[in-house]
């Protein structure tokens, strides 16, 4: 029996990979129509009325009910992502709380669930992380070409609703493909069209094919498909009671970082554990700098100071206060 994934793959190959015009040639697959009818999601219920001001008042109330948004509540996540897709201004920032509150109101009208802004941001972040992880796996591990990557992503139930975010990841994907192509050369199962080569050559981002560090900085180890989130939300049928308390912060599950190099050399494997730990440190530092730009310079200075101190002869650990005081005199 043919699986849905195989059927989707055939549709993509037959209907969307036939390059017979310059328009199709230059248009990325993720911007082409869905290979099957879009899934129908709940529409706004006219009986559910709420203004932006009312939402802000309710969201600040400590009496807001507590619910669990688990991995099985996929429909709610799809509605959230669908609403976010309509607001490009928040695709790559966490600072547009005004727009996020509008998303929350629209989600309430469609699902009856009143969600905290932090919960909406967490679900969006997990979806972005899941997309990046699948892209990385497809490009660097499975060595997929663009068509196979698209087919691979369609196996994920949330892809239809986070597909819009590939407009943000497109440059990162191209740099990653260029780096992988350089490393594996003839080993790649790449199917290219001569007519489409201009699209790659014209992209200035591909000139820097040694951008491996940037690829690693963007790596995340969370996946929305198997993560449960506990946050603040309220069903439309409930009224706040005095014995209810604010929800806990989202709990993110971290997975092991996949290696970019398929066949590391003997020399590279010697320090692989240390390198992986450093990658995680870089990821954390980059995330902090991205979310708190005002702390970036101080964080960078602190890291440089720490590394420089360890480079001094006789310094053993951070607790070695005597050595530190001696060096400062």
Mean residue pLDDT of the chain comes to: 69
Cα(314)–Cα(44) distance, rounded to whole angstroms?
Answer: 67
Q: Are 282 and 217 in contact (CB under 8 A)?
A: yes
Looking at residue 156, its pLDDT comes to 95
Looking at residue 220, its pLDDT comes to 41
- Distance of alpha carbon 183 from the chain centroid: 25
More confident residue, 239 or 167: 167
Residue 65 binned pLDDT confidence (cut-offs 50, 70, 90):
low
Phi, psi values for residue 81, rounded to 5°: -65, -35
| pLDDT(280) > 70 | no
Cα(317)–Cα(26) distance, rounded to whole angstroms?
Answer: 55
Cα(190)–Cα(143) distance, rounded to whole angstroms?
Answer: 8
195: which residues sit within 8 A by CB, 6+ positions away?
Answer: 19, 22, 25
201-256: pLDDT as tens digits? 444 333 333 344 444 444 444 444 444 444 444 444 443 433 333 333 333 333 33
2-54: pLDDT as tens digits? 444 545 445 444 444 443 444 555 788 988 888 888 899 999 999 999 999 99
Residue 39: its H or E element: none
More confident residue, 315 or 224: 315
Q: Are 121 and 94 in contact (CB under 8 A)?
A: yes
For residue 282, with 0-12 CB atoms within 10 Å meaning exposed, 13-18 middle and 19 or more buried, which class applies? middle
Cα(131)–Cα(126) distance, rounded to whole angstroms?
Answer: 9
Looking at residue 148, its pLDDT comes to 95
The pair of three-digit structure tokens given for residue 176, joined into one six-digit string: 């990653």
Residue 6 is given by DSSP the state H
Indicate the pTM of the whole model: 0.54
Looking at residue 315, its pLDDT comes to 52
Highest mean pLDDT among 85-94, 184-193, 243-252, 269-278: 85-94
| pLDDT(288) > 70 | yes
Domains of the chain: which residue ranges?
1-257, 266-328
């Amino acid at each position: 029996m043919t699986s849905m994934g195989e059927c989707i793959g055939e549709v993509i190959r037959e209907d969307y990979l036939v390059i017979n015009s310059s328009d199709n040639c230059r248009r990325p697959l993720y911007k082409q129509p869905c290979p099957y009818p879009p899934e129908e999601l709940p529409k706004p219920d006219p009986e559910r009325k709420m203004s932006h001001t009312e939402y802000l008042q309710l969201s600040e109330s400590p009496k807001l009910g507590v619910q669990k948004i688990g991995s099985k509540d996929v429909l709610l996540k799809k509605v959230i992502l669908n609403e976010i897709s309509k607001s490009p201004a928040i695709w790559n920032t966490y600072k547009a709380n005004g727009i996020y509150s509008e998303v929350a109101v629209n989600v309430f009208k469609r699902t009856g669930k009143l969600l905290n802004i932090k919960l909406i941001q967490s679900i969006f972040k997990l979806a972005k992380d899941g997309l990046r992880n699948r892209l990385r796996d497809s490009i660097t591990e499975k060595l997929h070409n663009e068509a196979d990557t698209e087919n691979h992503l369609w196996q994920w139930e949330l892809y239809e609703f986070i597909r819009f975010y590939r407009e943000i990841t497109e440059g990162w994907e191209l740099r990653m493909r260029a780096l992988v192509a350089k490393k594996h050369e003839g080993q790649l199962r790449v199917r290219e069209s001569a007519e489409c080569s201009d699209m790659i050559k014209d992209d200035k981002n591909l000139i820097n094919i040694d951008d491996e560090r940037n690829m690693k900085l963007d790596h995340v180890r969370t996946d929305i498909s198997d993560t449960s989130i506990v946050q603040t939300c309220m069903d439309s049928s409930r009224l706040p009671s005095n014995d209810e308390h604010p929800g806990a912060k989202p709990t993110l599950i971290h997975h092991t970082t996949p290696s970019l190099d398929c066949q590391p050399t003997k020399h590279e494997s010697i320090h692989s554990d240390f390198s992986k730990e450093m990658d995680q440190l870089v990821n954390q530092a980059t995330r902090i700098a991205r979310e708190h730009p005002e702390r970036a310079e101080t964080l960078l200075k602190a890291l440089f100071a720490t590394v420089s101190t360890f480079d001094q002869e006789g310094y053993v650990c951070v607790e070695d206060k005597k050595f530190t005081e001696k060096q400062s005199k």
